[in-house]
Structure 1
Amino acid sequence: MCWGRGSCGLTGCPNKILSTDGDQVTWSDSKRYELRGNISSGDVSLTLNGVFKDDEGTYCCRVEVPGPFNDLKKDIQLAVQDVNLVRGSLGEDLTLPCSYATDDGTRQVCWGRGHCGILRCHDEVLKTDEDAITWRESNRYHLKENISKGNVSLTINKVNENDGGVYCCRVRVPGAFNDIKKEVRLEIHNTDRVTGVKGDMVKLPCSYDVSEGTTKMCWGKGSCPTYKCTDTLVWTDGEEVTWTESGRYRLKGNLQHGDVSLSIIGLSKEDEGTYCCRVEIPGLFNDKMKEISLEVDDDSFQSVTKVKV
């Protein structure tokens, strides 16, 4: 079978992006295209990692069946929502941008949790009339900018892990379906600090809930990017390590129980810095990410700073 960009034609896939031999993927135009389902059970659903606006359009899924004109064909239309991304760390004050032109006067505004609905804000966290805030769920939510000039950016004080997700800013405009809507995704980085001793081994803790099964994950050097891991050190398929940059990097925990903590053997000063643990969760921007800052102590006698594993 194959996947292509564009409507299915009489034969083959237009602008082919992925193909299989029936048992496994034999070619892919990019690592962004994956078949995560069980191919042997007929699940050939296409997963696109790190979706962009340019990915919008029609996709063709074609399954080759012997005989003239017997192929199974399915066209799928992909629409990509324009969602701004704001990233920050636990405890920070973060601002989600939203503004509108006030040529015709100021408007009522609401902010809510989740994607913008057709007519209203879901799970409202803040509302305004034309001039000021009229209600807010918590004193942590503020509009610190100039509302009279149309800047209704939402500031959340001292963000926590539960604050992550999509937010909707809706500006009320008279008329059917005229409201101005803007979605902003907030990503909260959970950053831990770990100290190790030069020459020893250190463990960078990371785990996830496996109640719905194990999944792919990676470790990388540097802050967590929007997609995958930067300077990848370890890859797993959910069951076992499939690739490692060096034998110094090991996952000694029980992967089936969600323990994907990274052990680094023979620490050196060059190992200092930020590490990213990224667990792939299906859906747009759903990956679980954790950043850990590693410091390496030169003095092996200062065992008080040594991390036990």
Structure 2
Amino acid sequence: MKTMNRLKLMLLLVLPSVSEHDSSRVVGRTGQDVTLPCRYEVKKHGLQSVCWNRGDLPLQECNNRLIATSKLRVKEETRVSSRYQLQGRLDEGDVSLTILNLTESDAGRYGCRVRVRGPFNDLKYHIDLNIEKAPITTTIAGRRGSDITTWKGSDITTWKGSDVTTWRGNDVTPTEPMVTLVQEMWSTAVQQQQVNSLQTFVGNTVRLSFIIFIPALLLTAAYRVWRTNQKPETDRRLNQSEEEEEEAVTCV
């Protein structure tokens, strides 16, 4: 028994240490971005190279590598897709992996290995990524703006004037707060339409007034000028006629 304990103690002293941290869990949504955390202490370990692995990390290196660094530089030749980004401060030991535009196939385990000098001294982190489907919301408004239907997951809501009904599965339930909301929206829309109609009427009236008033004003001014020019000619003709009559009388 003592011999076995001594052997175990010798093995612990001889074998190099392996630093492996417990796995953490991150939740992401399809179509969005997610960041898998991984950091190490630069002051303690200095700047180190890092690799990200899909699946459990092997005993050495990364056997299903996604991206890797050479201290402060991302090794582009190791990046398997532009969706994998290291957006943290590499000089501060932040080597977290950001995955862009998540899909359901991205779910699973990821491993981050920070290479530290000495055999089996690497820092190893495992992250389990779970993917949730992003909720889908679609809104369709009727031509008159009074009928609105909204889909969100399995919930369907339809607004028809003052009637609002919500379907949740097989349940049909009227919701009075939504009725009030729709009535207020409808009243506001009607008032806005009335204001727009009044503004349109006033604008058309003003434009029509200008179209009629300005030509009439011009015609009046032209007529006055013409009359002013015609009056001296008429007076001259009258004077000439009177003079001719006086001469005729004198001759007789």
Choose 1 or 2 for highest CA Rg.
2
Structure (1 or 2) with the greater helix fraction: 2
Structure (1 or 2) with the greater strand fraction: 1
TM-score by length of structure 1 reads: 0.40
Return the structure number with greater relative CO, CA threshold 8 A, min gap 6.
2
